[in-house]
Chains A and B, each alone.
Chain A
Amino acid sequence: MRILALAGRRLAASIPTLFLILVGIFLLLQFAPGDTVDAMLAQMGGGDAVTAQQLRQFYGLDLSVPARLGQYLLRLVQLDLGFSAIYGKPVAIVIAERLPPTLLLMTAALSFAFFAGLVLGVLAARRVNRWPDTLISTLGLVFYATPSFWFGLMAIVVFSIYLQWLPAGGFEDITSLQTGIWRTLDIARHLVLPTLTLGLIFLAIYLRIMRASMLEVLNLDFVRTARAKGLDETRVVVRHVLRNALLPMVTLIGLQAGTMLGGSVVVESVFSLPGLGRLAYESVVQRDLNTLLGIVFVSAILVIVVNFVVDLLYARLDPRISAGG
């Protein structure tokens, strides 16, 4: 019951934020020169003024800005995300189609980053200021500082062009349409390189946070007590330190949920994946307001949900924090 109350309060608090974000983006896009018809003419390579006028009517652009904003919000209340100009179908369907690849890629990349970061962070903290620590920290920095498109392209050059182990891009093999387990394996094969490329950047962040947090907890009194009562080092680290050091990592996951749904334009472009990041980018370039607002709306809802789950997780990891408090 307390959880439900908390959920209700959270949701109520986020409605004004959501409203402000949507109105803000709507207005911001009005400042961008050109509308979706200009974008369409640019794509077609030409068209006359009559065609353009017909198209503006078709997309409802002949109305005033407040009228269009009002219409949009009214539809949103009825949970109707509108019609996508570039895709010619309802926004909800467009987003639903793009969700699975995005979620798959982002979950894989974040899990990889989380667990690899956790292990490497613990290793670095245990051997602080000795060569494993230096090596791990330097590698982390290198991954973090390297642009992801370069990483992606180099991975393609090495693994797809020279070694020919993995496909260079795409979500699945379309020259032969597969089903069942073979399709799953095929998609997994296609996601290895993008996951690594995206994961390596997140990895650096998790690694640094984990290392710092481990070092901090290792110096606390209760760790000395644990050691004093004769526990071996592994047990001290796993049972006492790790659990406490995990809190900042969980916070970070909560924060990055937004990034997760936003996808990664760069990695999706380099590996030709049909993700939400590319969709959002395209919507801006094509001035497809409905699609863009739809993505923002869905992302915002997801962030609210994930942060709620994170709050619950806190309470589980550290009983001193009460979810209601």
Chain B
Amino acid sequence: MTDSRLEMKRRTLLMTSAAMAASVLMPERVFAQATPRRGGVFAVHYGAEQRQLNPSLQASTGVYIIGGKIQEPLVDLDANGNPVGVLAERWETTPDGKTITFHLRRGIRWHDGKPFTSADVQFSAMAMWKKILNYGTTLQLFLTAVDTPDAHTAVFRYERPMPLNLLLRALPDLGYVSAKHLYESGNIRQNPYNLAPVGTGPFKFVQYERGQHVIADRNNEYWREGMPYLDRIVWRVITDRSAAAAQLEAGQLHYSPFSGITISDIARLGKDPRFIVSTKGNEGNARTNTLEFNFRRKELSDIRVRRAIAHAINVPFFIDNFLGDFAKLGTGPIPSVSKDFYPDDNGPQYPYDKAKAMRLLDEAGLKPGAGGVRLSVRLLPAPWGEDISLWSTFVQQSLGEVGIKVDVVRNDGAGFLKQVYAEHAFDLATGWHQYRSDPAVSTTVWYRSGQPPGAPWTNQWGWTDPTMDKIIDDAATEVDPVKRKALYAKFQQRANSEIPIWTPIEQIFVTTISVKARNHSNTPRWGSSTWHDLWLAE
């Protein structure tokens, strides 16, 4: 709690000082700012180019940051994190949870002028979400059909009960609709519209120059009256983080999403009155740093050794000295920002206690050998971020102090996934676990046994726990929200008492944005949302 309070203080301070500076320098503008200004070009940092831009086919922030302005989902999240209709106006479910009906908004047209209908929803769900979209394939595994009684009604039929809340929490990310008439012929993956998306959203695709930029212009026919405010959005491809920070300062960029610049630049620009640096608007993209254990290594399958390792690492010290204000102590796979599922009781935690760690290792029969070494392990850090690299070094040094010798083996992205999740060639691994609004979307797969080898970010630890499997399976089809929450509390407690993976740090991505931008960061997944109400002050 102290961390988030600090963060709040810092943010309000920043915003207040920026507002004060503005009112002193240009008093006449303070009042004018209440009414949105039309026009302007918003420049966005685009760090890692993807292979395509269609969010119906790929669920990742790198796609949403562009495709999410051009195409729209059935449902999005509002300021309080509750589902709110976008292409769907309202919805209902049957008591058995096997039929969910969406009533679609009328009078919407695709950017090419064709009307948007329930056939588009049917096509997207059956041919894209169920067959191609990552995480969508798991979510819609038991979807058997989408009926279209009329052009504005889509009825989703499931073989097993689908909790309405789960679907509504997942659809903002996994419910983008593509135009059937553009995709029904040919191979979907090779469709040229994947790189020149056509949607119903507030911005129309204009140009994509690989390695340089993407441009989208205002959609004058957009269904929300008088919106959007911006004339154009440009995404600049900048792979070097320091260069991105320099472009922000030079005024060539307005916004760097998802912690796109270095930790030190985030701290520096946080003190600059021209920018707002905050985690607000990214609550839907919470992640935890992990420590993953390979149970095929006999010593690590011993719960005492795993607990000893957790006790040996001083996590608060690491957060204070390396990560700064935007990270806090993790309490389990379900992060504290998850209002719907964060339990009152998280189960056992592992505070820093070196003596206890050594005692546990002794009990497990790992006595210090030559040079005080009890055990040698290989740690594979994922190359996703600076924090993982720092954390792996910290783990190495901390474990060294209790007699566990750690070799850090660094790989690039493809190499890391292959070695950890396909070949299981690791003892310890560390990376990010991304929490996506509901534990059933991408969290429980880290714990459910029976995952095929090669599926990244799943239980590849060689850990099988029937109790855990039952909790996960029951929760996935439980339609009563209260009972579901209780099951996920049990899930969290079990995850923490067995620690097949340990989730010691909780982080939310940091946004760096110009103070000129208005109506930003106003939903939990703002970076991915449509930006229909975003505007730029003079």
Contacts and interface: CB of A to CB of B under 8 A. Distances in A.
Contacts of A50: 137
A233 interface: no
A52 interface: yes
Contacts of A94: 210
Interface stretch (A104-112, A162-170, A252-260): A162-170
A28 interface: no
Most B C-beta atoms less than 10 A away, residue of A36, A46, A52, A271: A46
A8 interface: no
Interface in A276-293: 278-279, 282, 285-287
A88 B195 contact: yes
B44 to A, nearest CB: 12
A286 B51 CA distance: 10
Interface stretch (A153-161, A221-229, A311-319): A153-161
Contacts of A39: 413-414
A167 B252 contact: yes
A174 B42 CA distance: 11
B243 A269 contact: yes
Interface in A78-112: 85-88, 94, 97-98
A41 B62 contact: no
A46 B250 contact: no
B477 interface: no
Interface in B188-227: 189-190, 194-195, 209-213, 215
Contact of B455 (A52, A153, A287): A52
B252 A48 contact: no
Contacts of A164: 250
A42 B434 CA distance: 13
Interface string B44-81: 00001111100000111110000000000000000000
A169 B134 contact: no
B38 to A, nearest CB: 16
Interface stretch (B145-153, B155-163, B234-242): B234-242
Interface stretch (B88-96, B288-296, B355-363, B415-423): B415-423
A50 B190 CA distance: 18
A270 B213 contact: no
B449 interface: no
A48 B134 contact: yes
Contacts of A85: 51
Contacts of B61: 45
Interface in A287-313: 287
Contacts of A282: 49
B59 A169 contact: no
Contact of B246 (A40, A44, A98, A168): A168
Contacts of A51: 132, 134, 137
Contacts of A153: 242-243, 246
Interface string B493-507: 000000000000000
Interface in A85-143: 85-88, 94, 97-98
A272 B456 contact: no
Contact of A269 (B240, B414, B415): B240
A244 B213 CA distance: 47
Nearest to A271: B243
Contacts of B52: 88
A150 to B, nearest CB: 10
A52 B414 CA distance: 13
B356 to A, nearest CB: 35
A34 interface: yes
Contact of B48 (A32, A43, A279): A43
Interface string B382-411: 000000000000000000000000000001
B215 A174 contact: yes
A290 B59 CA distance: 26
Contact of B60 (A43, A152, A161, A279): A43
B134 A97 contact: no
B517 interface: no
17 contacts: A34-B418, A38-B414, A42-B417, A43-B48, A45-B60, A45-B434, A47-B134, A51-B137, A52-B455, A152-B243, A156-B246, A169-B236, A269-B240, A270-B242, A272-B238, A274-B237, A275-B211
Nearest to A276: B211
A34 B456 CA distance: 12
A42 B211 contact: no
A98 B451 CA distance: 41
Contacts of B434: 45-46
A32 B411 CA distance: 9
Contacts of A43: 48, 50-51, 60, 62, 413
A19 interface: no
A175 B194 contact: no
B47 to A, nearest CB: 11
A47 B48 contact: no
Contacts of B481: none
Contacts of A272: 212, 236-240, 243, 247
Given A170-B213, A175-B234, 16 more contacts: A34-B419, A39-B414, A40-B51, A41-B456, A44-B60, A45-B59, A45-B457, A46-B134, A48-B137, A88-B194, A152-B243, A170-B212, A171-B212, A269-B240, A271-B243, A272-B239
B243 A169 contact: yes
Contacts of B212: 170-171, 174, 272, 274
Nearest to B414: A34
B8 interface: no
A33 interface: yes
B168 to A, nearest CB: 20
Interface in A36-81: 36, 38-52, 54, 58
A186 interface: no
Given A38-B418, A49-B455, A85-B51, A170 B239 contact: no
Contacts of A157: 246
A48 B232 CA distance: 36
A151 to B, nearest CB: 13
A98 B210 CA distance: 9
B485 to A, nearest CB: 24
A94 B454 CA distance: 30
A135 to B, nearest CB: 30
A20 to B, nearest CB: 26
B178 interface: no
Interface in A169-223: 169-171, 174-175
- 6 tightest A-B CB contacts, nearest first: A34-B414, A274-B211, A42-B413, A34-B418, A47-B134, A49-B452
A215 to B, nearest CB: 40
A157 B60 CA distance: 33
A49 B455 CA distance: 5
A33 B454 contact: no
Given A174-B234, A270-B242, A161 B249 contact: yes
Nearest to B48: A43
A274 B194 CA distance: 21
A153 to B, nearest CB: 6
A86 B210 CA distance: 10
B19 to A, nearest CB: 24
Nearest to B192: A88
Nearest to A38: B414
